[in-house]
Amino acid sequence: MKVFNTLTRRKEELIPLKAGEYRIYACGPTVYNFIHIGNARPICVFDVLRRYLEYRGGKVIFVQNFTDIDDKIINRANQENSDYKTVSETYIAEYKKDAAGLNVRPATVHPKATENIDEIISIISTLIEKGYAYEVQGDVYFSPAKFNAYGKLSHQPLEDLMSGARINIGELKREPMDFALWKASKPGEPYWESPWGQGRPGWHIECSAMSRRYLGETIDIHCGGQDLIFPHHENEIAQSECCNGVPFARYWMHNGFITVDNEKMSKSKGNFFTVRDVAEQYGYAPIRLLMISCQYRSPINYSYDSLMQCKASLERLKTCRDSLAFSAKNAQAHTALDRLAALQTAFEEYRARFCVAMDDDLNTADAIGTLFDLVRYINKEVLTGEPEIEAIAAATAIFDELNDVLGLLYEEAPAADTADEDAKIDALVNERAEARKAKNWARADEIRKQLGDMGIVIEDTPQGAKWKRV
């Protein structure tokens, strides 16, 4: 398989350090809110990368972190009169619902920044000892000027990268490009003890720490959105390579941007969509298909029309798969051996075309095209005429095989657990009202008790029964 390596700006043969084993680190979300449509892309794309490497017989160790301490999380906690832990745990749970909804497999490990403070402190200490970082009044900063290779991922010289850098009021760093590894805590903020006093880690350092702890000093693939190349990934490289003295990641894969109705997505423009909101209206599966419908480095435009096209495409897949299942139940005829051989040859060609596309820098657009060509072929060659046992079994096997790599057709989990539960409660409340109308008091009481066991109380009002959770 070849992948485009941002570091070398070339498509390169993907060769892991240890044969057959891929160590992958993906930067995960800062958990202070629901994820938005732009966040869905790397999640879906790199899930497909992982599935494909596994499909080709590789072992994948996939690490995706949660940034669970950050200014945004602290601000949110303050707004809600809550604490950082409650906010981060809430949105980790919501993230997991969305990821499962999008048919994204859980990472091998989902480490959290706050559970890796010792590793973070150890790396910062080494960076200070080696002269790459310095402490000022409880803050610790890294000096990119001390690392000759700084800028190698974004392919820009330090002077160009420096042009946008500033020292804000209250910041104690020496040079504008310096970035914080450790921040002294302000009064009332969460903190951890460190050799530099009470404080918390900066954002970039956590990925260097968690990547080393779970995957080792040199990893195979580091991935994320293009917006992370600078400064986040550039800083990760600087920290890790200055600390460990060996290359950090051998391949860097970055997905392209998402626009909404051909504009950059932003809250102020009002074109900001969370995955949850879209999923509740249209389901998760069309979002997943849209996210992988283009080669991952190309930009994607999110629009109502593009989502509807994906929904229609999924219907075609579902119709074919359902027809195969239905025919399998009814099939009694056997497939002639020469016909079965011809079908197998055709299926083998689809499989080969699929792999050629995926081997070419994860060209999911062509791979999906191949799956739809296969569906047309199955509709024409297998699902017409009298159903045959072996032909249907072979067609189902190749369909499931290719579909599973892309993860397109799947049983969708409900968008939210509570939506399901609410529907169930409404149904019981209605049934109780009917029972009362019919003067079936025993049944009405039974339902009240059942709801009580679920933590629901009912209040009878002139407008009907109201319920609430207690």
Q: In the complex with Zn ion, which residue's Cβ is closer, 153 or 346?
A: 153
Q: In the complex with Zn ion, which residue's Cβ is closer, 42 or 387?
A: 42
> What per-residue string of b and e applies to 75-93 under the rule 16 or more CB within 10 Å gives b?
ebbeeeeeebeebbebbbe
Smallest separation (angstroms) from Zn ion to the CB of 110 = 13
Q: In Å, what is the CA distance from 259 to each residue of 39, 64, 264, 273, 301?
A: 12, 24, 5, 11, 5
Q: In the complex with Zn ion, which residue's Cβ is closer, 113 or 140?
A: 113
Smallest separation (angstroms) from Zn ion to the CB of 54 = 23
Q: In the complex with Zn ion, which residue's Cβ is closer, 224 or 387?
A: 224
Residue among 136, 95, 134, 137 nearest 112 (CA): 95
Using CB under 5 A, which of the segments 23-31, 54-62, 305-313, 388-396 binds Zn ion?
Answer: 23-31
Using CB under 5 A, which of the segments 25-33, 74-82, 307-315, 348-356 binds Zn ion?
Answer: 25-33
Cβ-contact 400, 354 below 8 angstroms: no
DSSP state of 336: P
Q: What tokens were used for 50?
A: 């992982």
Helix, strand, coil percentages, rounded to 5, for the chain: 50, 20, 30
Q: In the complex with Zn ion, which residue's Cβ is closer, 25 or 302?
A: 25
**What is the pattern of x (binds Zn ion, CB under 5 A) and - over residues 111-150?**
----------------------------------------
Using CB under 5 A, which of the segments 38-46, 203-211, 345-353, 434-442 binds Zn ion?
Answer: 203-211
Smallest separation (angstroms) from Zn ion to the CB of 381 = 48
Q: In the complex with Zn ion, which residue's Cβ is closer, 27 or 287?
A: 27
Smallest separation (angstroms) from Zn ion to the CB of 94 = 20
63 binds Zn ion, rule: CB under 5 A = no
27 binds Zn ion, rule: CB under 5 A = yes
> Largest Cα–Cα distance in the chain?
84
Binding-site size for Zn ion (CB under 5 A) equals 2
Of the candidates 14, 207, 314, 382, which one interacts with Zn ion according to CB under 5 A? Answer: 207
**What is the pattern of x (binds Zn ion, CB under 5 A) and - over residues 162-201?**
----------------------------------------
Q: In the complex with Zn ion, which residue's Cβ is closer, 115 or 348?
A: 115
- Cα 210–Cα 213–Cα 216 angle in degrees, nearest 5: 110
Q: In the complex with Zn ion, which residue's Cβ is closer, 235 or 364?
A: 235
Using CB under 5 A, which of the segments 27-35, 152-160, 168-176, 337-345 binds Zn ion?
Answer: 27-35
CA dist 139 and 201 (Å) reads 10
CA dist 146 and 143 (Å) reads 6
Residue among 124, 146, 131, 142 nearest 196 (CA): 124
Full DSSP string of 95-123: HHHHHHHTTPPPPSB--BGGG-HHHHHHH
Q: Which residues bind Zn ion (CB under 5 A)?
A: 27, 207
